[in-house]
Amino acid sequence: MDPATPQPVLTPLTKSAIFLVYTVRPGGEDQVRDVLGEFTGYVRTVASRAPQGRVTGVVGIGSAAWDRLFAGPRPSKLHPFPPLQGAVHSAPSTPGDLLFHLRADSMDLCFELATVLAGKLAGAVELQDETHGFRYFDARDVIGFVDGTENPGVNEIADSAIVDPAAEPAELAGGSYATVQKYTHDMDAWNGVSVEEQERAIGRHKWDNVEMEDGVKPDNSHSSITTIEDEDGVQRKILRDNMPFGRPGSGEFGTYFISYASDIDVTEEMLRNMFIGRPPGQHDRLLDFSTAHTGGNFFAPSLDFLDGLPPAPGAGDQGTTTAAASARAEEDPGAEPGAEPSGSEAACLPDGCLGIGSLKGQPQRRP
């Protein structure tokens, strides 16, 4: 059997992107399934109008929506984003059933694809967030530092971002776990400290992007606290495709964090270190200038999955109903058997609301 073809999660950073997060309205499942089944066709149609525009699209499905849309197996580690509450900073869990990550080298192409999708989904979904991102100079974020330096290299990227076929049912091979957060930055506070203090917060020199030496780089710097290693000291990575966004006239300056990982545990461990601290109480210094407003987990299935969707869940399929109820019970032990999940589901994991994770990816960008 030929290996499943992933969605274009490994696509290099483009100049523009639009991120759309929707929840599925009750009764909108069939319409959403129709759009998912035609999604790759919509992307090809827009791409054909500008062959040099590097138009791509990735769609992810959230935990609460999965059992409403598919009767087949669900990703083993797909669960709602666990809210994080540290001593100083917090990361919320926000509603999200569908994630669309639309990329191109010009915003008009992203806009056109987003318009097509919005029209096809009209009436079946509710928009939770829409963010338009742009590439800023030499891939810097709005706080002035190069973003994505620690993404995995070409020989690591697939292992970091695409699930191990042995870890998921065959139907889910070629998929990827996606996590998104929307951060805004307090630019007055950030620009109110020296460049040297900014460098200590990031763990890199600002202009040449060279990492600070061990012993000099603070333990609570962003680059230190988001470095994850396994028991053998090998660094575990995720693929980050972060994009700046903002509205200067409204004083909004932000970074849209999006990661693709073969194991969502790595992403969640990174975020737990940032907000809870490593050790607990020692949070990421960058969070003193940045605030998280959203948080969502999704599974981006393969192109093969989208082009041949599994059946919709049948009301009389006791096996499917039981499996779905069991999966939801793990996310929400207090849920009534057979209860329909809501689009705003944001349950905590058994280890509390702190979440744990694992990472892998391409030349990485920071959240």
User: With contact defined as beta carbons under 8 Å apart, do 346 and 81 qualify?
Assistant: yes
Q: Which of 67, 129, 141, 147 is catalytic?
A: 147
* Number of residues assigned to the chain: 367
3-state helix, strand, coil in the chain (%, to 5): 30, 25, 45
End-to-end, the C-alpha distance of the chain in Å comes to 37
188: annotated active-site residue: no
Q: How many CB atoms lie within 10 A of CB 122?
A: 10
Three-state DSSP string of 266-334:
HHHHHHHHHHCCCCCCCCCHHHHCEEECCCEEEEECCHHHHHCCCCCCCCCCHHHHHHHHHHHHHHCCC
**Burial degree of 3 (CB within 10 A; 0-12, 13-18, 19+):** exposed
Largest pairwise CA distance in the chain: 64
Supply the residues annotated as catalytic. 147
